[in-house]
Amino acid sequence: MPNLIDTTFFVGEINIPNTSKPEVAESLELFIAKYEEELLLKLLGYELYKAYKDDPSERRFTDLVSGTKEWRGLVYAISPTVDGSLIAYYVYTWWLKDKHVWNSGVGTVRAKGDATEVMPISLKMTEVWNMFSHQVTEFCTFMEVNKVDYPEWSNVNLWQFRVINEFDI
């Protein structure tokens, strides 16, 4: 089953530069594959996720993905040429964490340019995570209002997507 998002979703406040370069696109596609599935499993729960995987064309799942009058959807239009998704915000936070420091031949390192200053990752992470968290709240509201269409769903584990501050609390 194809992913709901792709590398074109990473624009604006979740911009990932150079996604047209094969090495960046390939790395980002791996993150999308891993973290989209992880998020959908956490958001939907196992039973609803399994039902979605079995028949994504079912009306209740097309409403969930593409939206309704009450819900913008897991994938939505930001402008006529740009799409957005709470999935992209989630993937971006994991991408940013991973790219902030990386393993090299001499140990774990962080880039330091000659004319640049390394800023704390916490500021950007907090901003993007909280945008994601607000969209999860919208998702939960939609699911509660439409509980009859999604009887398998429970919000029991969604506390993990709460709003945070720069200290991750």
Instruction: Examine the pLDDT at 2 and tell me if it is beyond 90.
Output: no
- What is the pTM assigned to this prediction? 0.88
What is the per-residue pLDDT for 112? Answer: 61
DSSP state of 114: T
Structure tokens at 18: 């150079």
Burial of 21 (0-12, 13-18, 19+ CB in 10 A): exposed
- pLDDT tens digit sequence for 29-87: 999 999 999 999 999 999 999 999 999 999 999 999 999 999 999 999 999 999 999 99
Structure tokens at 40: 């959908």
Q: Could you tell me what percent of the chain has a pLDDT over 90?
A: 72
Structure tokens at 120: 């704390």
Q: By three-state DSSP, how is residue 103 classified?
A: strand
So where are the chain's domains? 7-155
What distance in Å separates the CA atoms of residue 1 and residue 108, rounded to the nearest whole number? 35
What is the per-residue pLDDT for 125? Answer: 85
Query: What's the pLDDT band for 113 if we cut at 50, 70, 90?
Result: low
Exposed e or buried b for every residue in 99-119, given b needs 16+ CB within 10 A? beeeeeeeeeeeeeeeeeeee
Q: How much of the chain is in helix, strand and coil states, percent to nearest 5? A: 55, 10, 40
Query: What's the pLDDT band for 148 if we cut at 50, 70, 90?
Result: very high
Average pLDDT, integer, range 110-117 = 60
Phi, psi for residue 80 in degrees, rounded to 5: -60, -25
What is the per-residue pLDDT for 74? Answer: 98
CA distances from 26 to 65, 71, 81, 126, 149 (A): 24, 31, 23, 26, 37
What is the per-residue pLDDT for 111? Answer: 59
Average pLDDT, integer, range 125-141 = 94
